[in-house]
Structure 1
Amino acid sequence: MRFNLPYVLLGLLTVPVLVAAYLWQLRRRRRAAIRFSHVALLRKAVPRQRSWRRHVPIAMVLAALGLLALAGARPQVRAQVPVSSSAVILAIDVSGSMCSTDVSPNRMSAAQDAVRKFVDDQNAKTRIGLVVFSGFAQLSVAPTTDHEELLTAVDGLTTGRGTAIGAAILKSIDAVSEINPQVAPSDPNSGEVQGDPGVPDGPDQRPTPTPSPSAPSTPGTPSGQKAPEIVVLLTDGANTRGVTPESAAEQAAQRGVRVYPIGFGTSEPTQMVCTSEQLGGGMFDGPPQGLGGLGFGARNFLVVDEDSLRQVASTTGGEYFKAEDAEQLNTVFKDLPQRADTQERDVDVSVAFAGLAALVLLLALWLGLRWAPHPQ
């Protein structure tokens, strides 16, 4: 147990002072006691009472004062608290490989359906944010309790070119820092950077945004303390550009942000077929026609880099999940709150001490009235 206002504990010194004053008063009364010549008459005038009873209410009042002093010092204990009391950042891969039909009807549609169910199952007070990434990452919806806004954004997801997993982690850290002042923003200039191998895994080519040199790099959380916010990262491929996932995970770990990666899709991606909505309103005359022209090396970027995602989970204190079809993905999202819904943090228990003090005072008053001597 720790105290936010430890100097208030000086108030506990009043308890021994009051005990000394009470004992002094008892001794003074004994000295000033009136001597009766007729003991039988005294016994009839004042009923017999056990001597210890008259001290109990006073002792309870003193105990209540001590409890109030403890409450004023704002005691805190380490306890498990639900993540629903904070926020969940969903980082969703929208690279072109999400058009692969190895998961019916395609990976993107299955992911959208699973995310919708996950959002619907959350408490109305749970804040959820949405980060989408392909060749770069962007915050689509800031953490909010307006789940309808979030679902609208999920329904409108479109594919892009490239897979910037590390950038998605950094963008998620920034989303957390906006709602938790103890979490510092990410440092986009820190860590190893991976080049773009030019894998044609999607219909849209966008430049990677230039990172801001002014972003602070000093972690804002005390060493070893986990932020209540978590990041759920869903991807079906491997990082192709920008900061590496391992480097981004180091920054997340420094700030106490846990990342729960989900590797989605099979190891044998098939023909890529996206709907016109998923292609961004028909940016091409037709969907990509399979993977025919890609060599083995390019094909590796269309399957999950499990080693990298496991490393991200291990570094940040999260957990890695694997889903090869829509049913498994729905199960992962359903079970995720049971795996990541609590974490250790300091909880203020001053109200409990104050309530106990009030209860002790009421009990002292009741015992004082019940045990008070009444002439017969």
Structure 2
Amino acid sequence: MPGPVSFGLPYVLVALLTVPALVAVYVWQLRRRRRQAVAFSSISLIRSALPRQRTWRRHVPIGLVLASLALLAVAGSRPQVRAQVPVSSSAVILAVDVSGSMCATDVSPNRLAAAQDAVRTFIEKQDDRTRIGLVVFSGFAQVAVPPTTDHAELRKAVDGLTTGRGTTIGAAILKSIDAIAEINPDVAPADTSGTTSTTPGAPGAPWNGGPSTGTPLPGTPAPRAARTAPEIVVLLTDGANTRGVTPQEAATQAAARGVRVYPIGFGTTEPTQMVCTRDQLGGGLYDGPGQGLSGIGPGGRNFLVVDEQALREVATTTGGEYFAASDAGQLQGVLADLPKHVQTQEQQLDVSAAFAALAALVLLAGLALGVRWAPYPG
């Protein structure tokens, strides 16, 4: 149910004082006419000459006109209500992992191809109001398509995904925040000061063969924002963060801005060989079976397997939910069921247009009744 009504321009409500003032003028005019009425010798003769009319009818049209003026004054004050609206009224940012491990064949034909099919299906099932943005990440993260309703552009970008080295989950979350900030002025861009560079080859960028906790963000962890942004981030990854800011640090920034992240861990716990197509490699010469995947880092940690603990922490911190998908069918199901988990979101809605439309209807009704009930038609 809608919450309490607030007003963007409350001082405009002063215009409501004109309504009782006009009522007072109307009553004064009625009394003045009575005092100036001509005395007739036979009142019954006058009454018989006029059409029969109920006394209250002559006041209804003017009452409706005054009511329409009151409604226009309310409309001008920009009334707003807090209500639950469908998430499709906002935007979804899809952050897709395109690291080399997405060519693993434990998901047929490989992880990336299955993810592309699932994302394409998800895009096609959204209505024309839903804005969708695409962020891709491997050794660094970038906004491939800003939030848009142009689903053809999105499908083209998904079809052209190519792989890279490294996995920067934290950077992907920060880029997703930036994409949301471009369309929602209430969401501040991500703060990258103090984070480790995520650009390959840049000074301070760690080698992707091992983990990097990144440089802690300045200040204490920010509490979750009082207001939740209607936009959400759906993050699909098959591995663990290997460089740059950590997912947990990025999630803290997302939570501080009210941005919810819904991570999806994709793939099995036993990746085998890697088979990439030429298109998935960006037109490179490699095409065919690769050697067994090797992503074992310090402490025996496998960076080619989903870091479920980190992704669950991201979901908990931001108010989202974590999903696991070990094959193409499960991934399709997770994306198809996502709207059920993110059905509505509370937003401040401007209802001034509704008040203005109601004012117009009331005014038309007043004019129509005034003409219909006029004692001297024609």
| Both structures adopt the same fold (TM-score exceeding 0.5) | yes
**Contact conserved, 2:196 with 2:214, CA < 8 A, in 1?**
no
Deviation at 1:253, TM superposition (A): 1.9
1:296 and 1:184 map into 2 onto residues whose CA distance is 36
Mapping of residues 170-185 of structure 1, within 5 Å: 170-185=174-189
Give the CA deviation at 1:286: 6.6
**CA offsets 1:109-151 (integer angstroms, 9 cap, x no match):** 1111111222222334543322111232122233334433333
Alignment partner, residue 77 of structure 1:
81
Residue type of the partner of 1:94?
Answer: V
Which 5+ residue runs of structure 1 have no aligned equivalent?
Answer: 202-206, 214-218
Alignment-derived partner of residue 328 in structure 2: 326
Taking a change above 3 Å as real, the CA distance of residues 151 and 14 of structure 1, as seen in their structure-2 partners, is same
User: Shift of the alpha carbon at 1:223?
Assistant: 5.1
CA 1:305–1:223: 2 relative to 1, 3 Å:
closer
Change (3 A) 1:283 1:186: farther
Q: Which amino acid aligns with 2:374?
A: A
Post-superposition offset of 1:62: 0.9
Deviation per CA, 1:257-309: give whole Å up to 9, x if none. Answer: 22221111122323333334323444669754224794894453222222322
Per the alignment, do residues 293 and 306 of structure 1 end up closer, same or farther by CA in structure 2, a change over 3 Å counting?
closer
* C-alpha contact 1:191 1:244 (8 A) present in aligned 2: no
Map 1:1-376 onto structure 2 (within 5 A).
Answer: 1-124=5-128, 126-189=130-193, 199=209, 224-282=226-284, 287-291=289-293, 294=296, 297-340=299-342, 342-374=344-376
2:202 is aligned to none
SS of the residue corresponding to residue 253 of structure 1 reads helix
In the TM superposition, what whole-angstrom CA distance separates every residue of 1:174-223 from its partner, at most 9, and x where no partner exists?
1222233332211113579999585379xxxxx9999xx9xxxxx9xx95
Unmatched runs of 5 consecutive residues or more in structure 2: 199-204
Q: Distance in 1 between matches of 2:61 and 2:308?
A: 66
TM-score, normalized by length of structure 1? 0.84
Shift of 1:67: 0.4
For the structure 1 residues 250 and 296, does the alpha-carbon distance in structure 2 shift closer, same or farther, using more than 3 Å as the test? Answer: closer
How many angstroms apart in 2 are the aligned matches of 1:234 and 1:102? 16
Corresponding letter in the other structure for 2:172: A
- Select between 55-64 and 333-342 the one with higher mean Cα deviation: 333-342
Letter in 1 for 2:57: R
CA distance in 1, matches of 2:194, 2:127: 36
CA distance in structure 2 between the aligned counterparts of 1:105 and 1:285, rounded to whole angstroms: 14
CA contact (8 A) 1:260 1:318 kept: yes
* Equivalent position of 1:216 in the other structure: none
Is the Cα–Cα contact under 8 Å of residues 102 and 111 in structure 2 kept in the other structure? yes
2:50 maps to a residue whose letter is: V
Relative to structure 2, which stretch is displaced further, 287-296 or 170-179? 287-296
Report the count of equivalent residues: 363
RMSD: 3.4
2: distance between equivalents of 1:69 and 1:29?
A: 30
Q: What is the one-letter code of the residue matched to 2:69?
A: L
Following superposition, the deviation at residue 107 of structure 1 comes to: 1.1
- The amino acid that maps onto 2:233 is V
SS of 1:359's equivalent? helix
| 8 Å contact kept, 2:136–2:142 | yes
Distance 1:115 1:15, change over 3 A: same
User: Amino acid of the residue matched to residue 340 of structure 1?
Assistant: V
- For the residue of structure 2 that corresponds to 1:28, the secondary structure is helix
Q: TM-score, normalised by structure 2?
A: 0.84
Q: Helix, strand or coil for the counterpart of 1:277?
A: coil
Superposed CA offset, 1:302-356 (max 9, x none): 2222232222223223222221110011112222234335422122211211111
The answer (yes or no) to whether the contact 1:192–1:247 under 8 Å persists in 2 is no
Query: 3-state DSSP class of the match of 1:88?
Result: strand
Contact 2:209 2:297 in 1 (8 A): no
Residues in 2 aligned to 1:34 and 1:246: alpha-carbon distance in whole angstroms: 88
4 and 291 in structure 1: CA distance in 2 versus 1, 3 angstrom threshold: same
1:199 partner letter: G
| Residue identity opposite 1:14 in structure 2 | T
Q: Deviations over 1:36-70 (max 9, x none)?
A: 33232122122443222222212111111100111
> How far 1:75 sits from its partner (Å)?
1.4
